[in-house]
Amino acid sequence: MNEHKNDSHEMQMDHSQMDHSHMDHSHMNHDQMMDMGGGHHDHGGDDMMMHGDHMMHMGNLKQKFWVSLILTIPVIIMSPMMGMRLPFQITFLPWSDYLVAIIGTIIFFYGGKPFFTGARGELSEKKPAMMTLITMGISVAYLYSIYAVIANDILHVTPMVTDFFWELATLIDIMLLGHWIEMDTVMNAGSAVDSLAKLLPDKAHKLVNGKPEDVAIKDLQVGDQVQVRAGEQVPADGKIVSGTTSVNESLVTGEAQQVTKQPDDEVVGGSVNGDGTFVMKVTGTGETGYLAKVMDLVNSAQQHKSAKENMADKVAGYLFYAAVTVALVAFVTWLLVDNLAVALSVAVTVLVIACPHALGLAVPLVIARTTSIAAHHGLLIRNRNAMEQVNQINYALMDKTGTLTEGNFKVNKYDTVSASLSADQVLTIMASLEDGSSHPLARGILTAAKEQKLNWSAATNVQQLTGAGLSGEVDGKQYTLVSAAYLDKQKLQYDKQQFDQLASAGNSISYLISGDQVLGFVAQGDQIKPNAKHLIDSLLAQNITPVMLTGDNDQSARNVAKQLGITEVKAQLRPEDKEKVVAQYQSEGNHVIMIGDGVNDAPSLARADIGIAMGAGTNVAIDSADIVLVKSDPNDVVAFLDLARRSTRKMTENLWWGAGYNIITIPLAAGILAPIGFMLNPMVGAAIMSLSTIIVAINALSLRI
């Protein structure tokens, strides 16, 4: 491998993390919401939904909504609303009560099943929230309505309120609609762990009696010897037994430079072998190797984050306790001052009025609007709960390559130091030597030559000079492309002051020599993204401290950080190191954003309060993140922060509207003003409920960025 490509002193600007062009982003999706509309992919008939920290089977939510809605039509026509008959309702059918009861029972058990499952999960953790509140409302409405039908039509005793089938059906419809909207606006979850597993090849060339035989990766055992050929992925963690090569370990460091490997050097499963072939001894398999440890980190971080409650669940939890308390107090009070029938009716009315019609739509409608606006601006929201954390963020940790820099080397300067060659002739010879190579530095030289419209032909007799560089013949003359370290070792003269100046600017410098004469040089560096500076300035203006976390060397990292205005830099980090840094900031009471794009960023993206992945990054990073920036533009982080703050404000406003209805009507339904002769008219309660739902919808649609 070219010495000028390996020398750590030269590699002062980090390389692209991977060849991103082949990455498929069609899977970008939500790590909590699983295909509620049934249109994305098959889950064996069981769609999944995360609510109240519980993953529950939802069946086909879309189908449940439409079936329940159709069944609701005859209920609306024949059943009273809060005990009041509407002008259009049918009252002359003698069997209408029984028909409504049958239909209501179907809606209750069929449409309400997802909420029963969710409530059971919430109560098992002693955290009643939205699902418990909904379940309480529809259960009380159903049981009392059945009692009302029996009392009225069989026992011929007229209860205070005839039935609540109208409320039961409409509440289930609205809740199913709200959750369908919430699920359908966020795409399906991919698994970061699955993506990590795909980094390993399917088979390995195991040496059996000295000859390579293809075996499945799962059949490899510690101690096996495996042959790894040029261009292949390393099948497991191991130690090189024979052969010399170079390996791309970007999944570990985030930087794509080729690392020279010799006997006794360790290699990581999933890294990409270069041009050489080597034999390695397996030291860690798919279950015990490095990638397995990264998988464990991602899993652990995601589970840590999933314990956070969202605002709607918190409000619903408060309302649950408030409604139950008020209902019990009202029941006992009315039992003492009147009779059992009145006390029961008042308590039931309180619990039914507590049904979160507006509350159930408060957040989903804002999420639907937010997701639509975000998609228009190139943002994919995979975890909406993360948006509620924005106002608390005070640190933004970010990767360098692919996040703040382009990840592509570009020739910043090339020149001749020989009177016999022009600068373009030097670049042409370099292009001839590098023709056909896919290394980032080689691509930079070839791209520059194309931009200058130079004509070259591939060199002949090209050889990789171990510990030196690259040599070959161009037009019958021998040339070598090497690093400054090689020139120092061979005691060849070159402009060291010029080298220091170019290197301090973050360039990697390669020299063209023939024999013992230096003919010219090329300086290449990774390019800072155009909007990276604006991102840092915006974060600082919002009192958010930017911190660079990178696998690159400290000198290169600090050079980029200085240009951007970042004062805190942590370099030469492995994936587990980055995750530990995020956890450390959080343990000190900070709230953290992590921005990255590579495999080495996955654990820290999952651990952070908000993980933001560049859309041009790896599948593993995308699957670990809460937000995906489709255009990989750093400025989109600023757009996300703005949208998240506006969205959170709308959610808060809607929750106040939704909860405000309950705060007012629950005490009135309990009879708090009965001493002055006022009891809440059920029709008025229903009207207020409808009005609050409309207000919530209009407020959500008014969201702008």
- 484/556 same-domain check: no
Smallest CA-to-CA distance from 230 within 199, 205, 265, 256 is with: 205
**Residue 255 burial (CB < 10 Å; 0-12/13-18/19+)?**
buried
Of 605, 630, 655, the residue that ends a domain is: 630
What CATH number is attached to the domain comprising 590?
A: 3.40.50.1000
User: Could you give the CA distance from residue 294 to residue 579 in angstroms, rounded to a whole number?
Assistant: 10
pLDDT at 58 (0 to 100): 46
The predicted structure's pLDDT at residue 25: 33
269 three-state secondary structure: coil
* Single pTM value for the model: 0.60
User: 46 with 124, same domain?
Assistant: yes
Strand partners, 278: 228
Domain shared by 177 and 48, yes or no? yes
E strands, 120-255, are: 203-208, 211-216, 225-228, 237-242, 245-248
Domain extent, residue 496, equals 407-528
- The H or E element containing residue 408 is strand 405-416
Helix 357-376, helix 635-670: angle, nearest 10: 170
CB 262 within 8 A of CB 268: no
Spatial CA neighbour of 151 closest among 141, 161, 142: 161
DSSP 107: I
CATH code where residue 273 lies: 2.70.150.10
Residue 676 neighbours by CB distance under 10 Å: 6
Do residues 169 and 313 share a domain?
A: yes
User: Among 140, 142, 135, which residue's Cα sits nearest to residue 105?
Assistant: 142
Question: Is 303 part of a structural domain of the chain?
Answer: no
Q: How many alpha carbons lie under 13 Å from residue 601 in its C-beta half-sphere?
A: 35
399 given a catalytic annotation: yes
Number of domains in the chain: 4
pLDDT of residue 288: 65
Q: How far apart are the first and last CA of the chain?
A: 50
Instruction: Quote the pLDDT of residue 54.
Output: 39
- The answer to whether residue 640 sits within a structural domain is no
Domain boundary among 595, 630, 665: 630
Both structure tokens of 103: 């239909």
Closest by CA to 604, choosing from 403, 370, 368, 357, is 403
Same domain, 350 and 415: no
Inside any domain, residue 354: yes
Of these residues, 35, 163, 173, 399, which one is catalytic?
399
How are beta strands 592-596 and 395-398 bridged, if at all? parallel
State how far the Cα of 326 lies from the Cα of 343, in Å rounded to an integer: 12
551 and 476 in a common domain:
no
- One domain, residues 291 and 164: no
For residue 302, being part of any structural domain is answered with no
Structure tokens that stand for 318 in this block = 């408060």
Our CA dihedral for 196, 202, 208, 212, rounded to 10 degrees, sits at -110
Where does residue 507 rank: exposed (0-12), middle (13-18), buried (19+ CB within 10 A)?
A: buried
**From CA 647, how far away is CA 655, in angstroms rounded?**
12
Residue 75 structure tokens:
């209920």
538, part of any domain: yes
- The phi, psi pair for 457, rounded to 5°, reads -125, 155
Per the CB < 8 A criterion, the answer to whether 654 and 225 are in contact is no
Task: Tokens for 211, please give them.
Answer: 């000859």
Q: How many residues in the chain?
A: 705
pLDDT along the chain (705 residues), means of 10: 37 32 32 33 37 45 88 84 56 73 93 88 84 84 84 64 75 81 53 57 87 88 91 88 81 59 85 86 76 61 52 81 89 88 80 73 79 79 80 93 81 93 95 79 88 92 72 93 87 90 78 94 87 94 94 76 92 86 94 85 88 72 76 89 91 84 83 81 64 82 82
